[in-house]
A and B are shown apart, each in its own frame.
Chain A
Amino acid sequence: MLQSNLAYKLPLTEEPAHVASKDAKLSFVHVVVAFFAFLIGILGGLLQGLARGGIIELPAWLGYYQILTAHGVLLALVFTTYLIFGFFFAGMSRTHGAFSDRLRKMGWAGFIITTIGTLMAASMIIANEASVLYTFYAPLQAHYIFYSGLALFVVGTWVAGAAIMAHYFQWKKEHPGEPTPLFGFMATATLILWVVAGLGVAATVLGQMLPWALGMTDEINVLLSRTLFWYFGHPLVYFWIMPAYMVWYLVIPKVIGGRLFSGSLARLAFILFLLFSIPVGFHHQLMEAGITEFWKYIQTVLTFVVVVPSLLTAFSIFATFEQTGREQGGKGLFSWIKKLPWGDVRFFAPFMGMLVFIPAGAGGLINASFQLNAVVHNTLWVVGHFHLTVGTTVILTFFGMAFWLIPVITGRRLTKSMNRSGMVTTWLWTIGMFLMSGAMHILGLFGAPRRTAYTTYQDHPQAMSWFEGIFASHITVAIGGVILTAAGILMFYNFIYLAWFAPKGETEFPMTPDPDDTPHTPALLENWKLWIGIAVVLILFAYTIPIYDMIVNAPPGSPAFNNLIR
Chain B
Amino acid sequence: MHLHKYEKIWLTFGIGSLVLFLAVLGVAAFAFGQQPPSHMASVDSQNLEDTVFAEPGLDQINEDTYRARIVALTYGYSPDTIEIPAGSTVIFEVTSQDVVHSFTIPGTNVNMMITPGHVNMTEHTFTEPGEYLVICNEYCGTGHHYMQMKIEVTP
Contacts and interface: CB of A to CB of B under 8 A. Distances in A.
Q: Are A and B physically bound partners?
A: yes
Interface of A: 1, 3, 63-65, 131, 133, 137, 139-140, 222-223, 226, 262, 264-265, 268, 285-293, 296-297, 300-301, 304, 307-308, 311-312, 315, 319, 369-371, 373-375, 377-379, 446-455, 457-458, 460, 462-463, 517, 520, 522, 553-559, 561, 564-566
Contacts of B36: 286-287, 293, 296, 370-371, 373-374
Nearest to B119: A289
A555 B18 CA distance: 37
Contact of B139 (A1, A65, A307, A462): A65
A460 B148 CA distance: 10
Given A371-B29, A565-B141, A291 B38 contact: yes
A566 B142 CA distance: 7
B99 A564 contact: yes
Q: Which of A449, A453, A553, A566 has the most CB of B within 10 A?
A: A449
A458 B39 CA distance: 32
Contacts of B105: 447
B45 A371 contact: no
A286 B120 CA distance: 12
B133 A460 contact: yes
B68 interface: no
Interface in B6-43: 6-7, 10-11, 14-15, 18, 21-22, 25-26, 28-30, 34-43
Given A140-B141, A311-B11, A370-B25, A446 B106 contact: yes
B118 A290 contact: yes
A460 B47 CA distance: 33
B102 interface: yes
A226 B3 CA distance: 41
30 contacts: A3-B4, A137-B99, A140-B100, A140-B141, A222-B116, A223-B117, A223-B118, A265-B3, A265-B7, A287-B37, A289-B37, A289-B118, A293-B29, A297-B25, A301-B22, A304-B21, A311-B11, A312-B11, A369-B25, A371-B25, A374-B112, A375-B111, A446-B106, A451-B137, A452-B139, A452-B144, A452-B145, A462-B107, A553-B42, A554-B117
Nearest to A301: B22
A366 to B, nearest CB: 11
A307 B40 contact: no
A441 B106 CA distance: 14
B45 A374 contact: no
A451 B136 CA distance: 10
A375 B98 contact: no
Nearest to A566: B142
B89 interface: no
Contact of A307 (B14, B74, B148): B14
B6 to A, nearest CB: 6
Given A311-B10, A369-B25, 5 more contacts: A289-B119, A291-B38, A315-B6, A460-B131, A564-B140
B44 to A, nearest CB: 5
B38 A378 contact: no
Contacts of A319: 4, 7
A555 B102 contact: no
B141 to A, nearest CB: 3
A297 B26 contact: yes
B53 to A, nearest CB: 13
Interface residues of B, number: 69
Contacts of B119: 289
B139 A451 contact: yes
Classify the interface of chain A: helix, strand, loop or mixed.
Answer: loop
B107 A1 contact: no
Contact of A555 (B106, B117, B146): B117
Contacts of B139: 65, 133, 137, 140, 451-452
A564 to B, nearest CB: 3
B70 interface: no
A447 B106 CA distance: 4
A453 B1 contact: no
A128 to B, nearest CB: 10
Nearest to B25: A370
B116 A139 contact: yes
Nearest to A456: B145
Contacts of A290: 38-40, 42, 115, 117-118
A304 B18 contact: yes
A462 B7 contact: no
A139 B137 contact: no
Contacts of B112: 287-289, 374
B90 interface: no
A561 B47 CA distance: 16
Contact of B28 (A286, A311, A371, A450): A371
Nearest to B103: A287
B109 interface: yes
Contacts of B146: 455
A561 B99 contact: yes
Contacts of A222: 100, 115-117
Interface in B81-107: 98-100, 102, 104-107
Contacts of B116: 139, 222, 555, 558
Contacts of A223: 115, 117-118
A449 B11 contact: no
Q: Which 9 A-B pairs rank lowest in CB-CB distance, beginning with the nearest?
A: A447-B106, A564-B141, A555-B117, A449-B137, A555-B42, A289-B118, A288-B113, A455-B145, A289-B120
Q: Which of B28, B118, B137 has the most CB of A within 10 A?
A: B137
